[in-house]
Amino acid sequence: MTDFSAWTQACQARVERVLAEWLPPSDIAPKRLHEAMRYAVLGGGKRVRPLLAFAAGEVTGAAVEQVQHAAAAVELIHAYSLVHDDMPAMDDDALRRGKPTVHVEFDEATALLVGDALQSLAFEILAAQPLGGDATRQIGMIGALARACGSRGMAGGQAIDLANVGKALDLTELEFMHIHKTGALIRASVLLGAECGRLSAPDRAALDHYAKCIGLAFQIVDDVLDAEVPTATLGKTAGKDAANNKPTYVSLLGAARARELAFELRADACAALDPLGPTARRLRELADFVVERTF
């Protein structure tokens, strides 16, 4: 079996090819919009959500040729959320993945349309490709992704975040916010990858608990990195959370305790995978990557 680094590179290259094929070419009308869509998606990012989809697919014996489309769909949703989050009405950031954000490189109206178009393309992919061999299950996957990025998921979490700037949240309130803002799409990534194969009810419960823990751990590490790592390493503006007076795990717990909590969540996540045996190897490795990453 290939090592983790080789596996991640292969999965990242695969999803990059699928994304490049699905994104409209920049030489067809409307050219500026299509150019901006490709700018927002291709050639950057860790592709954590697609990696989680591929890893979950290994647990359920899913064909990688099917998982790759689910992986592309969740990455498009993630990319759209970044484009909108960076806009002046939201987080007002000028740097993403080491280059100017979409509204800076193009303009605000184009950035708004890019996000809209990427979101719709994600659902077009899920509707167009056979996933898991069962139409009812595929409709359920489309519904799951819709919930994950809507008011009961990512968009709702962002609304809670914006409403609490300058406020002190307790740990339960902070967790509630990030279960929606960050965790919902991570949970959907794991679920969609797994649903491309043979997924039993007990395995679904185990995978969802894993994903819930990893989603929170991912956000905690993001908060720590924002506080401790320079802009050049992050590829986005460092220190934005503190500058904007946002409630974070670091502002509530301090960086050291926040790191400890991330490690506790990793242990909880991996314990949930115990019944799945060696098929969950990549998910365990991804848990390590999420918690130990430095960018």
Q: What is the pLDDT of residues 282-293, one digit of tens each?
A: 999 999 999 999
Mean pLDDT for the chain overall: 95
Identify the CATH homologous superfamily for domain 4-292.
Farnesyl Diphosphate Synthase (1.10.600.10)
How many C-beta atoms lie closer than 10 Å to residue 236's C-beta? Answer: 21
Q: What is the pLDDT of residue 191?
A: 98
Q: What is the pLDDT of residue 99?
A: 95
What Rg do the C-alpha atoms of the chain give, in angstroms?
Answer: 18
CB of 58 closer than 8 Å to CB of 279: yes
Mean pLDDT, range 133-159, rounded to an integer: 94
Kindly tell me the sign of the dihedral angle through the C-alpha atoms of 114, 120, 123, 128. negative
Percent of the chain topping pLDDT 90: 88
Q: What is the pLDDT of residue 1?
A: 64
Q: What is the pLDDT of residue 235?
A: 84
What is the Cα–Cα distance from 187 to 183, expressed in whole angstroms? 6
pLDDT above 80: residue 151: yes
What is the Cα–Cα distance from 145 to 26, expressed in whole angstroms? 27
Tokens 């014996």 belong to residue: 61
Tokens of 288: 């390590």
Percent of the chain topping pLDDT 70: 100
What are the pLDDT digits (tens) for 220-252?
A: 999 999 999 888 888 888 888 877 888 999 999
Q: What is the pLDDT of residue 264?
A: 98
Q: What is the pLDDT of residue 285?
A: 98
* Prediction pTM value: 0.96
What are the pLDDT digits (tens) for 24-69?
A: 999 999 999 999 999 999 998 999 999 999 999 999 999 999 999 9
